């Protein structure tokens, strides 16, 4: 194996369930996942970050502390993975670290996207060159700064024939449509798991609805579903991206019309919202031949069942069928993006994010120690 071609990808997504850490080899044409780790996040760090995401007034000193602590957490995840695998840090060419999004405002004036997780700390603690801050150059070039995972989908999952969908169901869901004969398209379809997680935590005291079994026992409310589907985000044309700033507890509560719904019925309606909005997004591009799911939502059997019901004639599988662990696609993407940055490759993000021209994404923080 070419020793220069090992990279690490790091991300803590919108769900804030854990840090995903992927060790990736680029010795061959396509990135190959060698090992991975789902690294726990300290509960009080998560609580501090959530306050920012909820738009609470947080002093700059606390934002600075959270940025530093999140950087140390990413470094800790990397060191733990390398130790588990018995791989010295010196063998890793670079880390690609997405950071933790705390605010994403692509349509603001000016637009901005803010990720925490100080890359200086990652580079210092691991000694490995760290690439971070992937979204803001795209925004500066007029793009949404998101979604970026479609860049990897296009590089790795392009079908020889037909029209293929890749959907990442994380906190937010994003769909990529790939076809050898048409331009690729991608955008955030809306909520993935984040409202399902919120409702499960509120009513069951658990972080998520395992396998979707709670939702499966409820009955989707057409009036709640229609009210939620009425949100202008779903009708807006791409490019578009979203996050907790829009889809949050207050958003859900605004749509409660009937007081008679049981919590399980609301959960079933939320699962249907995720499935229906992904399916509707897919239909905009004509029928899909197949749809491959990645992200934590790929473990939700009920959600996959509802996706199938909403997309008759489309074969549904996870990205495992394409050779990539569905839990690690996003983390592999940031390893891949780190490599692109080191090679100063201009990336065609325009059809996904709306950027006005190709861009090199990411800032480089060298590893090693002087003196
Ligand atoms: N067994 C399971 N059953 C149902 N849902 C699951 C299961 N395992 C994970 N999930 C869901 O997946 C979520 C985590 O998914 P993931 O890590 O892909 O999202 P994320 O961190 O928001 O990532 P990103 O924003 O980068 O897409 C959990 O919060 C949970 O809702
Ligand atoms: Mg996650």
Rounded to whole angstroms, the Cα distance separating 182 from 109 reads 32
Report CA 366 to chain centroid distance, whole Å.
Answer: 26
CB 297 within 8 A of CB 328: no
Total residues belonging to the chain:
371
Rounded to whole angstroms, the Cα distance separating 332 from 33 reads 7
CA gyration radius, the chain = 20
Kindly list the structural domains of the chain, giving each domain's residue range(s) and its CATH number in brackets, ordered by start. Answer: 3-145+329-365 (3.30.420.40), 158-322 (3.30.420.40)
Question: What is the Å distance from ligand 1's center to 192 Cα?
Answer: 8
The confidence score (pLDDT) of residue 370 equals 81
Q: Is 197 in the pocket of ligand 1 (CB under 6 A)?
A: yes
Q: Which is the closest atom of ligand 1 to the Cα of 295?
A: 18
Rounded to whole angstroms, the Cα distance separating 175 from 291 reads 9
Q: Is 295 in the pocket of ligand 1 (CB under 6 A)?
A: yes
The confidence score (pLDDT) of residue 154 equals 97
The confidence score (pLDDT) of residue 47 equals 97
CB 130 within 8 A of CB 94: yes
- Residue whose Cα lies nearest atom 23 of ligand 1: it is 13
Residue 8's pLDDT band (boundaries 50, 70, 90)? very high
- What does the pLDDT look like over 126-172, one tens digit per residue? 999 999 999 999 999 999 999 999 999 999 999 999 999 999 999 99
Average pLDDT of the segment spanning 195-213:
98
3-state helix, strand, coil in the chain (%, to 5): 40, 20, 35
Rounded to whole angstroms, the Cα distance separating 183 from 59 reads 45
pTM of the model: 0.97
Question: What is the Å distance from ligand 1's center to 171 Cα?
Answer: 6
Rounded to whole angstroms, the Cα distance separating 333 from 157 reads 12
Q: Is 147 in the pocket of ligand 1 (CB under 6 A)?
A: no
Within a 10 A sphere around the Cβ of 26, how many other Cβ atoms? 17
Decide if pLDDT at 331 tops 70.
Answer: yes
- What does the pLDDT look like over 32-72, one tens digit per residue? 999 999 999 999 999 999 999 999 999 999 999 999 999 99
- What does the pLDDT look like over 243-288, one tens digit per residue? 999 999 999 999 987 668 999 999 999 999 999 999 999 999 889 9
Percent of the chain with pLDDT over 70: 98
Within a 10 A sphere around the Cβ of 103, how many other Cβ atoms? 16
Q: Between vectors from CA 317 to CA 312 and to CA 319, what angle results, nearest 5°? A: 140
SS (H, E, C) 22-39: EEEECCCCCCEEEEEEEE
Question: What is the Å distance from ligand 2's center to 194 Cα?
Answer: 11
The confidence score (pLDDT) of residue 1 equals 47
Q: Is 13 in the pocket of ligand 1 (CB under 6 A)?
A: yes
Q: Which is the closest atom of ligand 1 to the Cα of 168?
A: 27
């Amino acid at each position: 194996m070419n020793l220069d071609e090992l990279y690490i990808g790091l991300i803590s997504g919108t769900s804030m369930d854990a840090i995903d850490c992927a060790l990736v080899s680029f010795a061959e044409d396509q990135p190959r996942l060698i090992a991975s780790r789902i690294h726990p996040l300290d509960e009080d760090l998560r609580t501090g970050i959530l306050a920012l995401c909820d738009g609470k007034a947080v002093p700059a000193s606390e934002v600075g502390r959270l940025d530093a602590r999140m950087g140390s957490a990413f470094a800790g995840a990397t060191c733990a993975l390398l130790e588990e695998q018995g791989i010295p840090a010196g063998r890793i060419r670079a880390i690609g670290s997405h950071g933790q999004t705390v605010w994403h405002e692509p349509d603001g004036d000016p637009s901005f996207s803010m990720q925490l997780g100080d890359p200086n700390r990652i580079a210092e603690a691991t000694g490995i060159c760290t690439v971070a801050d992937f979204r803001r150059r795209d925004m500066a070039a007029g793009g949404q700064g998101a979604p970026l995972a479609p860049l990897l989908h296009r590089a790795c999952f392009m079908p020889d024939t037909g029209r293929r969908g890749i959907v990442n169901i994380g906190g937010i869901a994003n769909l990529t449509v790939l076809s050898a004969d048409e331009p690729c398209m991608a955008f955030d379809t809306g909520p993935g798991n984040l409202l399902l997680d919120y409702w499960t935590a509120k009513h069951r005291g658990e972080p998520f609805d395992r396998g979707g079994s709670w939702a499966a026992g409820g009955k989707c409310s057409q009036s709640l579903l229609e009210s939620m589907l009425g949100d202008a985000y779903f009708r807006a044309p791409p490019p578009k991206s979203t996050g907790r700033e829009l889809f949050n507890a207050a958003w859900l509560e605004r749509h409660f019309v009937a007081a008679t719904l049981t919590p399980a019925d609301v959960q079933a309606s939320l699962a249907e919202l995720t499935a229906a909005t992904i399916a509707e997004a897919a239909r905009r591009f004509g029928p899909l031949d197949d749809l491959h799911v990645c992200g934590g939502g790929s473990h939700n059997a009920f959600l996959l069942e509802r996706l199938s019901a909403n997309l008759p004639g489309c074969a549904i599988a996870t990205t495992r069928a394409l050779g990539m662990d569905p839990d690690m696609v996003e983390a592999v993407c940031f390893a891949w993006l780190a490599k692109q940055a080191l090679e100063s490759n201009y990336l065609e993000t325009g059809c996904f994010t709306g950027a006005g021209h190709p861009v090199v994404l990411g800032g480089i923080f060298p590893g090693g120690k002087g003196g």
